[in-house]
Amino acid sequence: MIQRIQSLYLLLIVILSCFTLFSPIAGLYNQDETLKYIVNYKGINLVETTGNKYFENVWALSAISAIVPVIAFITIFLYKKRSLQIRLIIVNIVFMAGFYGLLFIYLWIAGEKLHADWFLEIVTAFPLVNIVLSFMAVRAIGKDIALLKSLNRLR
């Protein structure tokens, strides 16, 4: 289970995805009115000295950010079903790529509404790192499958 390298990759995906879920992902800054907005799992919020004021929801982005670590965590425990592991990892890669698509759509639409420029936080790079880790996990699972096939052959 955890002794395999792909399990460590998947565990890193879970950790980085949790950071992505609970940290601010991006922001918007209106230079005319000097307003700053943050984008996190709660939505797009105006940052004020008295507290954050809700502007718009990003529920689809939050759902994807929550689904990715759950799938990766479940995949760790499916070590005996390697083909299912590979399929779930590929589904996770699609979700992580969709995360970027949705993020840029939300930022573009909110930037147009608020007349603001958007910027990305360092946490936004974590899904890209997760995609690389996912490919490495698929490769390691493929090596396990090849090893088992070679051991099952008659000599």
* Dihedral angle computed from the Cα positions of residues 95, 97, 100 and 102, in that order, rounded to the nearest 10 degrees: -50
Nearest by Cα to 77 from 14, 145, 151: 14
The Cα 2–Cα 79 span in angstroms is: 9
Strand partners, 94: none
pLDDT at 1: 54
User: How many structural domains is the chain composed of?
Assistant: 1
In a domain, 19, yes or no: yes
User: What is the value of pTM for the model shown?
Assistant: 0.87
In a domain, 118, yes or no: yes
In a domain, 60, yes or no: yes
pLDDT at 2: 62
- The DSSP code sequence of 46-81 is EE-TT--EEEE--HHHHHHHHHHHHHHHHHHT-TT-
Tens-binned pLDDT, residue by residue, of the chain (155 aa):
566 888 999 999 999 999 999 999 999 898 887 888 888 888 888 887 677 777 888 899 999 999 999 999 999 998 888 899 999 999 999 999 999 999 999 999 988 888 888 999 999 999 999 999 999 999 999 988 888 888 777 55
The Cα 2–Cα 39 span in angstroms is: 34
Give the dihedral sign, CA 1/150/81/94: positive
> For residue 28, what is the domain's CATH number?
1.20.140
In a domain, 155, yes or no: no
Residues 36/27, Cβ–Cβ less than 8 Å: yes
Q: Provide the b/e sequence for 35-44 (b: ≥16 CB within 10 Å).
A: bebbbbbebb
Q: How is residue 46 written in tokens?
A: 């105006």
**Which alpha helices (DSSP H) does the chain contain, by range?**
5-22, 59-76, 82-114, 126-152
pLDDT at 42: 85
By residue range, what is the domain housing residue 48?
5-150
